[in-house]
A and B are shown apart, each in its own frame.
Chain A
């Protein structure tokens, strides 16, 4: 590609983009390390969990073009599995989280296998209905303790020697999981596999005619997204030290859609920005008597009507964004 003289400007733009990408990642990492010294760590940990959740969701919506309305099942389900393993079975945190991820993968396989039989709006409705079914299961299953949820989950010691009851230890563990999760998602999106996912998003019929078994790719993307969502859910259960029905409720699926939409569908940074804005907003509104849903609903409507590319998408397309080479 670089051999061609006409491609030279494109190549330099590419280099510019990767250079500014590196700078952004460095800034992001620095923020990740410095933030707990200035802001309330539990708030930050919650934000990181939801950021990872939204990024995992974006893997499906942004890069495969599938709108799932059932991700609460993976998030809340993994939270339950992790909390149960850590509290009742006394597993160490890393194993408990792995169990949460495994549970989310199994759920993802079952839900995905059924849901990918239909496209578009139907896919959204089917995932919604299946996750609601899982919600009723959680409401009745004895190990979730119904309305009470699983309370006072012990954080334990990571690998047996890092005490996670120390807030800073916990923070850096969550930050490491977050960074690793994001790196994996970035690798997936930029791999040949990710290219095929984008091809499916752009034109499913063409991808089929090129010989790709689209159903398998979709299912794989769905399960991967469920796995990272489970990772976020499991970590969140240890951070907040509880797992309740709130996380499996379908409103949670709506929330993660909003985070992704607000930040920018199909951008790496968007979901994290969106999660930050929404979590901060919820924190801020928790003390006022206006129900959060009024504000989130309005933000939803405004996003859909006025800026569908989201905050990061709009910024990347603006003059400033082009100058620093976001696009």
Chain B
């Protein structure tokens, strides 16, 4: 199937707002015809290297502030690159009781903080969670430190009884959803999505599908990413990280001609999604509506991205949304600052959006690559932009190359009305996810 099968040509584009409204009405009529629910974002929370809450993050996005540092410990350990995003570890003693803390790894601590903010942002308290079937779907794809530490204890003591009770719950990939579901006494769907660097995006996508189909009313979605040398050492071994160590804040430079690799990062992002009816009933503030989820697999190389897979994911998302590609005002690119990845994504975006050329930026230029978290955090970054009428800059973009120059890249914080945006997330194994969110 070719791209042209999905993308209407320019002649067919409809610019009349009245006609657009009619199409939206038809779209929602078909949704109601098949008993499908509209899915809206009613809460967001963030704990990231560019801010530990929504207000701090919005300020960093507006000012193009980087969260990247040089970590001397990594150099001592033998890393090729000591660059990383960094955020302080939350102090939860006195906040959560011991049993809740013992099984919580660092990315779970980040996720607890981001989820607290999201629940508050959504106007949801514990009594609501106790009385309703609220679920959780988090993206997470590693928990290295507890694995390393528990095996170190076993090797030293030669006795499993010396490992203690917490490591098992810290070390599983499902650690974030399993811990938060207990802490917040959740009673709905409860599992983790592991889809490499698209985990957070797929978690939101799956949550959207469940609510759309009427199988859930509200789901706490998100993504979490540990920050430590143990989890990134084997990734560093692939020569994939930037070695611009003399200029940490200038190292992550997606789409720039002189990009030399990604910068690992982390934190946690929580996005509360619920049915439109539920939001209306609660009188909740709506930050955006999830209208499209597209996914695909490249079916090729384990680490080398391609062009065709992301094209299919973006086109599926557009079809699912029932909109035209020209209605996307902004694309938050996956672009991690690797030579091949950014180039291939630029080609993909150009194939799908070449005629409308929406604004494009990669917030990874500021945050670094938040990996399992990125798909969720970048929806938050973009939703903040949409709700506050600006586009955050792709910092460090000084000279695009021949391919990335095809995109309408934003290098400075730009006042801009976004009515709909698309957020891309891709990962190892060729997994691709594209989400479309629009203003309500």
A and B from one complex: no
Interface residues, chain B, CB within 8 Å of chain A? none
